[in-house]
Amino acid sequence: MTVKEIRAEFPILSSSVYKRPLVYLDNAASSQRPLSVVKKLEQLSLEENANIHRAVHYLAAKATDEFEGAREAVRAALNAESKDEIIFTSGTTAAINLVAYSFGEAFVGEGDEIIVSVSEHHSNIVPWQLLCQRKKASLKVLDIDENGELQAGTLEKLISQRTKLVAISQISNVLGLINPVAGIIETAHSYGVPVLVDGAQGFVHLQTDVRVMDCDFYVFSGHKVFATTGSGVLYGKKKWLEQMPPFMGGGEMIETVSFSGTTFAPLPYKFEAGTQNFNGIPTLVPALELREKCLKDSELQKNVEEITAYVLDALTSDPRIILYGVPRRTEDKIPLFSFSVKGVHHEDLALIMDKMGIALRSGQMCAEPLMDRFGVSGMLRASFAPYNTMDEAKYFIQCLDKAIGMLQ
Amino acid sequence: MSLEESKQEIIEAFSIYDEWLDKYEYLIELGKNLQPYPEEKKTDEHLIKGCQSRVWLDAEEKDGKLFFSADSDAIITKGIISLLISVYSGRTPAEISADDFSFVEQIGLRENLSPTRANGLVSMISTIRQMAAEYE
């Protein structure tokens, strides 16, 4: 598949902003949607719209099939053992909050400890802080080095008898470096500590097999990988999910309800309270098909690798620029680049480059502790998807140079 | 130059440029040429709330007129505050209070800023108004 062919799937990519061709480089915040996903959403809205699981009528059965079909597609994409281990949420944040609450209720008490890394997104920090406040537990922080590389070797020093869980991202949304999660999981498991892997960025760029990885929980957001908003996933090993109490009550999650006591539905429904996003979740099916294509297609992969190498070289060889997340080997980096320009405010650059047609992210990127770690108030981020071209990468570098020239 | 003339001058300066990139270039120049702001006044008290980048603003009264000075860590923001100062500095509090600040709409500044910057612009304007009200 050529990049041109995949671009044809995304009409928005051929649009213009301020009379210039749009160059969308904010994919780490949200990817664009392909026609297959838009059509699926339309089909569900126009032809198969009904609440799922309960009613016996035709439309409800169709909608339920679509929803459960998506569960199977996610199971297959993650190579999970069972569909019961796949829980739909509104997104990564909701999935982590679910685990923080529910796992916390079951397993975390006063004096216990949770380990996160300094490079986590706020969504993989704040739910644990809330849990720690609630339970009088404490949060331990795994550090990175100057290049942004996770100090995985120091994990053992942080683990104690009170450690209940390690929560770590597969790839940081700021650094774009592939974390050594396999080693982290092995180390944590050797002390009997389960691991949650935040796959919000990782699932987009890496083939992910939860059984090979052996993580205890894995979470991601559909909207970052071509599906609609509100299509998040929590994978959890059955042995944990079964022991965890429900997060929210009401709707599909019950078995029987009476005022003398309520019993809960089996997995995965125990964790799916209230009306589910039955129009949005099935868009995961075409979205995951496209993801699979992107990850397996040699031409698309070559394009991604070439763009990564080109941008990495351009940014690291420019003395005006400080790149955060410098890999030891190019293959440890995804095409996600956060950087600062000496003497230039990130917002100024973002504002000027926006007018050049380039969509970038600027600011703290939901990772304030990491900003503090590097002593900056914010950064600029360019994040590429498989549909971005080398021409766009070159245009980005040219425009960056021009914008810096205007500002310095 | 009267307040009206001052505003007209800026509206004309902006109308020369078709492209917003050029208008930004003009704002950057304004930012670079802003009078230095005293370091000791870079305090929370002088910080304008509601801006993504940091903006400090100070006002002094002389012969019944207000004179503003300002600074920011972002150059475009600095250009914007410089533009406001060039119009409103040296006016009486009554003049400032009576003005509707609509010239920023006329030059299309507000809708061409990112939402966070536009909020910042609104905060800058309300701070100038507030300072004028205090001296009235």
pLDDT tens digit sequence for A117-168? 999 999 999 999 999 999 999 999 999 999 999 999 999 999 999 999 999 9
Collect all residues from A whose CB is shorter than 8 A from any CB in B: 18, 344-345, 347-348, 350-352, 354-356, 363, 377, 406-407
For residue range A311-360, what is the model confidence (pLDDT) as tens digits?
A: 999 999 999 999 999 999 999 999 999 999 999 999 999 999 999 999 99
CB-nearest to A406 from B25, B73, B117 is B25
pLDDT at B27: 92
Which two tokens mark A347?
Answer: 């917002």
**For the residues A3-17, what does the mean pLDDT come to?**
97
Question: Are A253 and A270 a contacting pair, CB within 8 Å?
Answer: yes
CA distance A235 to A28: 21
Which two tokens mark A332?
Answer: 């440890």
For residue B21, the chain A residues in CB contact (below 8 A) are 352, 355-356
With a pLDDT cut of 90, the percent of chain A lying above it is 95
pLDDT at A52: 94
CA distance A232 to A247: 16
Catalytic residues of B: 51
**CA-to-CA separations, A177 to A173, A180, A223, A226, A337, in angstroms, rounded:** 9, 9, 21, 21, 10
CA distance A255 to A270: 9
CA distance A164 to A114: 6
For residue range A214-243, what is the model confidence (pLDDT) as tens digits?
A: 999 999 999 999 999 999 999 999 999 999
Query: CA A144, A149, A153, A159 torsion: positive or negative?
Result: positive
Q: Which of B17, B20, B21 to mutate to test the interface with A (most CBs of A within 10 A)?
A: B21
Size of chain B in residues: 136
Give the burial class of A260: count Cβ atoms within 10 A of its Cβ; 0-12 exposed, 13-18 middle, 19 or more buried.
Answer: exposed
B113 Cβ contact partners less than 8 Å away, ≥ 6 residues apart: A351, B120, B121
For residue range B33-71, what is the model confidence (pLDDT) as tens digits?
A: 999 999 999 999 999 877 678 899 999 999 999 999 999
- The type of residue at B21 is L
**For the residues A16-42, what does the mean pLDDT come to?**
97
Catalytic residues of A: 366
Question: Are A227 and A246 a contacting pair, CB within 8 Å?
Answer: no
Give the burial class of A50: count Cβ atoms within 10 A of its Cβ; 0-12 exposed, 13-18 middle, 19 or more buried.
Answer: middle
SS3 A376: coil
In chain B, what is the greatest distance between 2 CA atoms, to the nearest angstrom?
A: 41
For residue B53, the chain A residues in CB contact (below 8 A) are 345, 347
CA distance A69 to A40: 13
Find the range with the poorest average confidence among A277-286, A296-305, A396-405, B52-61.
Answer: B52-61
Chain A residue at shortest CA distance from B24: A352
Which two tokens mark A92?
Answer: 């990564």
Is B20 in CB contact (< 8 Å) with chain A? yes
A276 Cβ contact partners less than 8 Å away, ≥ 6 residues apart: A52, A67, A88, A252
Q: Return the closest-CA partner of residue A355 out of B15, B108, B103.
A: B108
DSSP symbols for A134-172: HHT-EEEEE-B-TTS-B-GGGHHHH--TTEEEEEEESB-
Question: Are A122 and A368 a contacting pair, CB within 8 Å?
Answer: yes
Global pTM reads 0.93
CB-nearest to B21 from A345, A352, A377 is A352
Question: Cβ separation of A348 and B114 shorter than 8 Å?
Answer: no
List the beta strands (DSSP E) in A302-357. Answer: 321-324, 336-341
Q: What is the pLDDT of chain A when averaged over all its residues?
A: 97
Question: Are B107 and B14 a contacting pair, CB within 8 Å?
Answer: yes
Please identify every stretch of chain B with a pLDDT value under 70, giving residue numbers as ranges: 51
What is chain A's alpha carbon radius of gyration, rounded to the nearest angstrom? 22
For residue A347, the chain B residues in CB contact (below 8 A) are 52-53, 74, 76-77, 114, 116-117
Residues of A207-242 as b/e, b for ≥16 C-beta within 10 angstroms? ebebeebebbbbbbbbbbbbbbbbbbbbbbbeebbe
Work out the angle at residue A236's Cα, subtended by the Cα atoms of residues A234 and A238, and round it to the nearest 5 degrees: 140
pLDDT at B127: 93
User: Closest Cα of chain B to A352: distance in Å?
Assistant: 7
Question: Cβ separation of A354 and B114 shorter than 8 Å?
Answer: yes
pLDDT at A369: 96
A55 Cβ contact partners less than 8 Å away, ≥ 6 residues apart: none
Give me the numbers of helices (H) and strands (E) for chain B, helices first please: 6, 2
Q: Return the closest-CA partner of residue A358 out of A308, A324, A400.
A: A400
- Cis? peptide before A268, omega within 30° of 0: yes
- Could you report how far apart the first and last alpha carbons of chain A are, in Å? 42
CA distance A203 to A341: 30
For residue A355, the chain B residues in CB contact (below 8 A) are 19-21, 24
CA distance A63 to A43: 11
Question: Cβ separation of A351 and B53 shorter than 8 Å?
Answer: no
User: Closest Cα of chain B to A7: distance in Å?
Assistant: 27
For residue B25, the chain A residues in CB contact (below 8 A) are 406
CB-nearest to B114 from A345, A351, A406 is A351
